Amino acid sequence: MKYLIVGAGLFGSVFAFEAAKRGNHITVIEKRNHIAGNIYTKEIDGIQVHQYGAHIFHTSNKKIWDYVNQFADFNRYTNSPIANYNGEIYNLPFNMNTFNKMWKVKTPQEAKNIIDKQRIKLGDRKPANLEEQALSLVGRDIYEKLIKGYTEKQWGKKATELPAFIIRRLPVRLTYNNNYFNDAYQGIPIGGYTQIIEKMLNHDNIEIKTNTDFFDNKNYYLQNYDKIVFTGMIDKFFDYQFGELGYRSLSFQTEELGIGNYQGNAVVNYTDDKTPFTRIIEHKFFEFDQSNPDKTIITKEYPEDWYRGREPYYPINDVRNNQLYARYAKLTKKVANVIFGGRLGLYRYFNMDQVISAALATVHTEFGE
């Protein structure tokens, strides 16, 4: 079969790799001037720079961990971000180190007592929004200093207008454990992420065309391929006929500095509402080889509104958007030769492991295994 893959990100590349292995002919088109989508990393002076924000691979699924390890060796990086609230420094995720700094408590019971006093109690009712969810999980102090400002900057909306699930991504622990994730497997590929995609797409049956936008020749592509795997925006595919889905955009400001150590950690979140960026990442600390003592590279991440023409980094999966997406998803049945995949095609706040898992599920459906 002749497949067209729209988007050389993780979803499209896993599909291309698996389909090529099975003897199909694949053309991958990518509108950017490079492959790898948002996991793209570029080496600058021996430092792997995450061009589209910090990417830490983590999963509880051993199969997915083994799968991704075919394409790179991973280091044992553990994400332990720091929060800076107007100069006060706290550990993340919310754990005994955070609670000790906030309230001077030393034992889990002491921390629990304070959280219980501050928590709002919802009874059997589900939290109606992110603010209620946060207040019911960790109480007012943590919410005010570490969640509200960051969240409202990140999403450009009041926490009372955001879905609760977003904050449930973060663990709350009564242990002294600064590991941001609960997953069994975690790390950063030694040598960066781009090699993973290069290896996936390195096959005689795969042709790659960068700087090529599907929408410049949509009808041609629809007519000339047996099947299309589309990982771009689903609302744009259908000419926004029901209106635009909501997205959040970002801009990244990268600086090369002539010092060896700028902030002493890979990720520092600025959780106040005045600082215009949400976080600064210092790329060298994702890796264990810090052989460059006189140089470091940092990236500030500024959340921005999305409008047509900007990069849609985050789908905003609130009720309105999910209902709108459901209407678009129904339309996909009318284009039987197009498979929609990835964060934008399925309009889901997917992590990398979930993207690989979704792509492999699509492969199995497609090839009947």
Q: Which of 15, 57, 65, 150 binds ligand UDP (CB under 6 A)?
A: 150
Minimum distance, C-beta of residue 240 to ligand UDP, in the bound complex (Å): 25
One-character DSSP codes across 10-66: HHHHHHHHHHHHTT-EEEEE-SSSSSSGGG-EEEETTEEEETTS---EEES-HHHHH
Q: Does the protein bind ligand FAD through residue 26 (CB under 6 A)?
A: no
Q: Which does 170 bind (CB under 5 to 8 A by kind): ligand UDP, ligand FAD, none?
A: ligand UDP
Please give the radius of gyration of the chain, using alpha carbons only, rounded to the nearest integer: 22
Nearest CA to 296 out of 250, 268, 269, 264 is that of 264
- The three-class DSSP label of residue 314 is strand
By beta-carbon proximity to ligand UDP, the closer residue of 29 and 138 is 138
**Residues binding ligand FAD: what is the number (CB under 6 A)?**
34
Q: Could you say which of ligand UDP, ligand FAD, none residue 56 binds, taking C-beta under 5 to 8 angstroms by partner kind?
A: ligand FAD
Q: Where are the alpha helices (DSSP H) in the chain?
A: 10-21, 62-69, 96-103, 108-118, 130-138, 140-142, 149-155, 194-201, 218-224, 234-237, 319-331, 342-345, 352-367
Shortest separation between residue 364's beta carbon and ligand FAD, angstroms: 18
Q: Residue 232 is encoded by which pair of tokens?
A: 């771009």
| Residue 355 binding target from ligand UDP, ligand FAD, none, CB below 5 to 8 Å by type | ligand FAD
Residues 3 and 206 sit within 8 Å (Cβ to Cβ): no
Burial class of 151 by CB neighbour count within 10 A (0 to 12, 13 to 18, 19+): buried
Please provide the DSSP assignment of 286-302 as one string: GSS----TT-EEEEEEE
Of these, 98, 154, 321, 362, which contacts ligand UDP (CB under 6 A)?
Answer: 154
Asked if 16 and 360 touch (Cβ cutoff 8 Å), the reply is: no
Nearer to ligand UDP, 242 or 302 (CB): 302
Span near ligand UDP by CB under 6 A; candidates 102-110, 113-121, 145-153, 285-293:
145-153
Q: Which of 82, 170, 335, 360 binds ligand UDP (CB under 6 A)?
A: 170
Question: 54-113: which residues touch ligand UDP (CB under 6 A)?
Answer: 83, 92
Binding mask 254-283 for ligand UDP (x = CB under 6 A): ---------------x-x------------
> How many CB atoms sit inside 10 A of residue 346's CB?
19
Largest CA distance in the chain: 66
77 binds ligand FAD (CB under 6 A): no
Number of residues that bind ligand UDP (CB under 6 A): 13
Q: Which stretch binds ligand FAD (CB under 6 A): 41-49, 133-141, 332-340, 350-358?
A: 350-358
Among 22, 169, 209, 364, binds ligand UDP (CB under 6 A): 169
Which residue ranges make up the site for ligand FAD (CB under 6 A)?
6-12, 29-32, 37-39, 52-57, 213-215, 231-232, 250, 313, 342-343, 350-353, 355
